[in-house]
């Protein structure tokens, strides 16, 4: 186990401004779209997190020229038809987005590829992607009939499908849409609950003609993407840790600028508002993705219910929302969140187990959790489970715990927020 940290943050307050790093979902997609399109795509505000670096590594192995200069990236591609068959296995690290979206992309190429990731990826379900892709004619082989990595893909000519999503998942939706780019006919994806729409927005940005209305996305296969510039906004899923930290740590005030507030991602803002947080959200001009400057102050909070269509809009924020709820007055109920069980780790069990160690009043249910508050938290020895968001939730808990918190394996935080501890140091003031 690497990088155990002992955090003694008693008597601190958090004050100041930070710019959170680029959005992970949009950074991945900028590399994928820029590699599919022929020509030069430029990206600014790219997230240099380990997950997005895995995506860059995979496309370099396919012969795409990608240069990284700080958070600016230049992708020079001869187009998807000119990708080279990689001699090596494509390694997707800890990244579910890389693995699932690449399955969709690679299925419709002329290439044979093999993809694998780390131990966590090896346990994450892939049939949710390989099943619809096989309906499109994809040739994919893998453990347990294509459920688990390593996966071998023999690219082929695909045909479009009309698919109703059985789970709310932007990764599944995006894999089908990206496969649809190379398919004969009109691809249609129907969602009961709307998941993040970055792929749809970026398809438009790269010049594709795509129709989106009331949970139905459709577009004609065979369209060419046109290289362009992508400006990646700050990641609201990273900002979420400091939104909660600012709300629950005494005498705090934190401002974050350029935070992506795409409505399909901004559920945490609605939850903070419903719970009574002292917060200001000032929206900037709308570009391909809307952004805002957000200020949060120490707040007196009320419990709430989080369920239904809101869940996909804050799915990655549930660990930190659970910590928030331990400091809110009354009961917070989280329902319909069974997808948490198949994230980087089983986040439902992990969140409940770790917060209990600190004295929280929290119980798991079949599809979520029930939290009573407010409860003072004490110190303890926590696990990150190698999951970046569990690691950051534990660090934020140390801002309000009455004694030190020891956390095993905090290196994993670099998956989505490499400058996290630097930002903690910047905001932290001793009282």
Can you tell me the distance from the alpha carbon of 55 to that of 121, in angstroms, rounded to the nearest whole number? 14
Q: Which part of the chain contacts ligand S3P (CB under 6 A), choosing from 58-66, 106-114, 163-171, 210-218? A: 163-171
- Determine, following the binding rule CB under 6 A, whether residue 388 of this chain makes contact with ligand S3P: no
Can you tell me the distance from the alpha carbon of 38 to that of 109, in angstroms, rounded to the nearest whole number? 15
Does residue 60 have a known ligand-binding role? no
Please say whether the beta carbons of 337 and 318 come within 8 A: yes
- Determine, following the binding rule CB under 6 A, whether residue 94 of this chain makes contact with ligand S3P: no
Contacts of 67 (CB under 8 A, 6+ apart): 73, 74, 76
Does residue 223 have a known ligand-binding role? no
Contacts of 209 (CB under 8 A, 6+ apart): 219, 220, 223
Q: How far is the CB of 25 from ligand S3P (least distance, A)?
A: 3
Does residue 134 have a known ligand-binding role? no
Does residue 425 have a known ligand-binding role? no
Does residue 389 have a known ligand-binding role? yes
- Determine, following the binding rule CB under 6 A, whether residue 326 of this chain makes contact with ligand S3P: no
Q: Using CB under 6 A, which of 5, 61, 196, 347 touches ligand S3P?
A: 196
Q: How far is the CB of 237 from ligand S3P (least distance, A)?
A: 7
- Determine, following the binding rule CB under 6 A, whether residue 97 of this chain makes contact with ligand S3P: yes
- Determine, following the binding rule CB under 6 A, whether residue 102 of this chain makes contact with ligand S3P: no
- Determine, following the binding rule CB under 6 A, whether residue 238 of this chain makes contact with ligand S3P: no
Supply φ then ψ for residue 184, to 5 degrees. -80, 125
Q: Which sign does the torsion angle of CA 347, 353, 357, 359 carry?
A: positive
Q: What is the dihedral of CA 336, 337, 342, 343, to 10 degrees?
A: 160
235, 316, 387, 409: the catalytic one is 316
Supply φ then ψ for residue 99, to 5 degrees. -60, -50
The residue among 82 and 192 lying less far from ligand S3P, judged by its C-beta, is 192
Q: Using CB under 6 A, which of 14, 18, 25, 121 touches ligand S3P?
A: 25
Does residue 278 have a known ligand-binding role? no
Tell me if the bond preceding 244 is cis, omega within 30° of 0. no
Residue 210 in tokens: 């795509």
| 57 flagged as catalytic | no
> Cα–Cα distances in Å, from 427 out to 28, 389, 421?
28, 19, 10
- Within residues 257-316, the interface with ligand S3P by CB under 6 A covers 315-316
Q: What does the binding site for ligand S3P look like in residue numbers (CB under 6 A)?
A: 25, 97, 169-171, 174, 195-196, 315-316, 339
Give the residue numbers of the binding site for 3-phosphoshikimate: 24-25, 29, 169, 171, 316, 343
Catalytic residues: 316
Give the residue numbers of the binding site for phosphoenolpyruvate: 24, 96, 124, 171, 347, 389
């Amino acid at each position: 186990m690497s990088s155990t940290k002992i955090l003694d943050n008693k008597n601190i307050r958090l004050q100041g401004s930070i710019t959170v790093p680029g959005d992970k979902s949009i950074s991945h997609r900028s590399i994928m779209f820029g590699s599919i399109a022929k020509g030069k795509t430029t990206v600014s505000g790219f997230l240099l997190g380990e997950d997005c670096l895995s995506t860059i590594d995979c496309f370099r192995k396919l012969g795409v020229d990608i240069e990284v200069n700080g958070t600016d990236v230049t992708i020079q591609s001869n187009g998807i038809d000119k990708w080279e068959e990689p001699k090596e296995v494509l390694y997707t690290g800890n990244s579910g987005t890389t693995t699932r979206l690449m399955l969709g992309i690679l299925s419709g190429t002329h290439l044979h590829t093999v993809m694998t990731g780390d131990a966590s990826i090896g346990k994450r379900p892939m049939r949710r992607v390989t099943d619809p892709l096989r309906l499109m004619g994809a040739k994919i082989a893998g453990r347990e009939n294509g459920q688990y990595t390593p996966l071998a893909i023999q690219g082929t000519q695909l045909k479009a499908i009309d698919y109703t999503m059985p789970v709310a998942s932007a990764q599944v939706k995006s894999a089908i849409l990206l496969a649809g780019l190379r398919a004969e006919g009109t691809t249609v994806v129907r969602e009961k609950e709307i998941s993040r729409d970055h792929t749809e927005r970026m398809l438009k940005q790269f010049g594709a003609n795509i129709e989106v209305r009331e949970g139905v996305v459709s577009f004609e296969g065979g369209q060419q993407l046109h290289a362009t510039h992508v400006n990646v906004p700050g990641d609201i899923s990273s900002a979420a840790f400091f939104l909660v930290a600012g709300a629950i740590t005494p005498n705090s005030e934190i401002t974050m600028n350029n935070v992506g507030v795409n409505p399909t991602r901004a559920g945490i803002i609605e939850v903070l508002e419903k719970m009574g947080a002292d917060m200001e959200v000032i929206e900037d001009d709308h570009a391909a993705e809307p952004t805002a400057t957000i200020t949060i102050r120490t707040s007196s909070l009320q419990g709430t219910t989080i369920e239904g269509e809101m869940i996909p809009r804050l799915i990655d924020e549930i660990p930190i929302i659970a910590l928030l709820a331990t400091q809110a007055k009354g009961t917070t109920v989280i329902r319909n969140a069974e997808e948490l069980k198949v994230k980087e780790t089983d986040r439902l069990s992990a969140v409940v187990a770790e917060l209990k160690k600190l004295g929280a009043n929290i119980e798991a249910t079949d599809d979520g959790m029930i939290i009573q508050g407010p409860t003072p938290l004490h110190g303890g020895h926590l696990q990150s489970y190698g999951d970046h968001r569990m690691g950051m939730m534990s660090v934020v808990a140390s801002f309000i715990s009455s004694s030190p918190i020891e956390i095993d394996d905090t290196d994993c935080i670099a998956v989505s927020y490499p400058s996290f501890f630097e930002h903690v140091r910047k905001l932290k003031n001793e009282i």
